[in-house]
Structure 1
Amino acid sequence: MEQSLAGKIAVVTGAAQGIGRAIAVKLSAHGATVVLADLEPSTETAALIGGESLIRTLDVSNYDQWRELAEVMDTAYGRADIVVNNAGIYPIASIDEVDEALWQKTMSVNLDSHFYSAKAFLPLMRRHRWGRFINISSNSIGLVALGLSHYIASKMGVIGFVRGLANEVAADGITVNAVLPALTETPGTAGMPLDRKTGGWQMQAIKRFAQPEDIAAPVAFLAGEDAGFITGQSIVVDGGLYKIS
């Protein structure tokens, strides 16, 4: 029997499409009330979930908007139990092409946002002495991937933050973990050259493209009671491509 998230309030960033949409749908199917946060209104995701979903526009690189979202959820629900930091950018550029602006934007969206979410939502979680932060990193940190030095740096930073934050909030009943997906078939990767995409899954043990639902399932597990003794961990979900050494 799948564990229930009934009564839990979750926020998923990047919920309008792709992995974020799949996560939001999965958490809702387990019984959670899901707040859909993205740069654009997540109306299609809300339609898939059905019922009433709180849709909020959110620039994850803006700390003030994070604080405003926490205030809205406090007013609406009086709690926030699960935060899934999924929103991110994937700009491919060689080190010669990466300028300061692209470096800072990549770090702000992919890493700073995780810090902002913790600052905004820890008070609500601590109030009920229960919480889950699930932060999306990437299996690219362990692969040969050209044109992604800035991206890999941001995603490796996510793992460091997860490990540090997990130590600080464990006594409050809060867990913090990372999920490292493979390159996944989403609108965000649709424009990538086919050979770049197939080159990845051909080296996997499971030889197919990752689907958003493949990533959503372990996120839902980490959100529940069954994962209550798992924290500070990085779970690779990539069909057996990334080899830990």
Structure 2
Amino acid sequence: MTDSAALPGEAGRVVVVTGGATGIGAEIVADFAEAGAEVIVADLAEPATDTAKAVYLRVDITRDDDWRDLVERTVEKHGRIDALVNCAAMYRTLGGKHPLEEIGLDDWDQVMRVNVRGTWQAVKAVVPAMSERGGRIVNISSTTARNGSPGFAHYVASKAAVEGFTRAAARELGRRGITVNAVAPGLVDDEATNVLNDAAYVAAAATRRAIPRQMYPADLVGAVRFLSGDGAGFITGQVLVVDGGGIFT
């Protein structure tokens, strides 16, 4: 059994963040970089902000060849991968909300391919680079998997699948010293959310929280960094909801 306590401190940690070029992912990248980690951004989108403290690699998370290249280049340079944060997902590009009977087969399959299969492909790609000394995997889910938000059943189903996969992966990888957890944010007031939801819907989300304000990408980074760090070495298979007390689990 791998001793995951051998992981380096934040200043020396090697972290891969999928979907880290924009939105929540970019906030997570900035937080890790500020802490001194070596951050690799895996994304098809161009970085929205300066990534001088991170390495950007153009990666389609559903292509094994792209993952093979990322892992080989990262291990060649750093010798290992310590943490993976799976942030990449189809959300902003859903094109609006639609009743479940109006969602096309191609749309359903595309969301599942990216949000679920892409998460699995990312995990299986980095596990060999973690197995010798252990590692941390954090998957980004959503509170929609619990409250069943109407209008995008394929997205809701994909995030529920991510949580199920998180538990299965945690069960399999624990003996290798690899922890696998998920963070489920509530409705985040950012560009992606405002593309899919009108202002009244976003404003109403704040009133349902124990902490009655909007949630922003920065509210998520503490939970992600904790689950990626030394203090979370005996936590696995869990889903941490971060939504200001809108949902109690």
TM-score, normalized by the shorter chain, greater than 0.5: yes
Q: Does structure 1 conserve the Cα–Cα contact (< 8 Å) formed by 2:22 and 2:48?
A: no
RMSD: 1.6
Amino acid aligned to 2:129: L
Separation in 1 of the partners of 2:81 and 2:98? 37
Separation in 1 of the partners of 2:15 and 2:172? 21
Aligned partner of 1:187 among 186, 191, 196: 191
Structure 1, unaligned stretches of length 5 or more?
A: none
Aligned partner of 1:119 among 105, 121, 124: 124
Q: Secondary structure at the match of 1:190?
A: helix
Aligned partner of 1:20 among 21, 25, 44: 25
Separation in 1 of the partners of 2:30 and 2:46? 15
Tell me the percent identity. 38
Amino acid aligned to 2:190: T
What is the match of residue 85 of structure 2? 84
Q: Which shifted more, 113-122 or 66-75? A: 66-75
State the 1:39 CA deviation. 1.0
TM-score (norm 2): 0.90
Separation in 2 of the partners of 1:71 and 1:58? 13
Aligned partner of 1:34 among 23, 32, 39: 39
Separation in 1 of the partners of 2:48 and 2:199? 30
What is the match of residue 215 of structure 1? 220
Structure 1 ranges of 4+ moved more than 3 A: none
Aligned partner of 1:239 among 234, 237, 244: 244
Amino acid aligned to 2:212: K
Amino acid aligned to 1:164: A
Q: Is 2:60 aligned against 1:59? A: yes
Amino acid aligned to 1:86: C
State the 1:200 CA deviation. 1.6
Q: Does structure 2 conserve the Cα–Cα contact (< 8 Å) formed by 1:16 and 1:45?
A: no
Amino acid aligned to 1:27: F
Separation in 1 of the partners of 2:120 and 2:68? 12
What is the match of residue 4 of structure 2? none
Q: Is 2:8 aligned against 1:7? A: no
TM-score (norm 1): 0.92
Q: Does structure 2 conserve the Cα–Cα contact (< 8 Å) formed by 1:41 and 1:56?
A: no
Separation in 1 of the partners of 2:139 and 2:50? 20
Q: Does structure 2 conserve the Cα–Cα contact (< 8 Å) formed by 1:138 and 1:180?
A: yes
Q: Is 2:136 aligned against 1:135? A: no
State the 1:30 CA deviation. 2.1
Structure 2, unaligned stretches of length 5 or more?
A: 1-7
Pair 1:238–1:85, CA change in 2 (3 A):
same
State the 1:227 CA deviation. 0.7
Q: Does structure 1 conserve the Cα–Cα contact (< 8 Å) formed by 2:148 and 2:156?
A: no
State the 1:63 CA deviation. 2.6
State the 1:43 CA deviation. 6.2
Amino acid aligned to 2:57: R
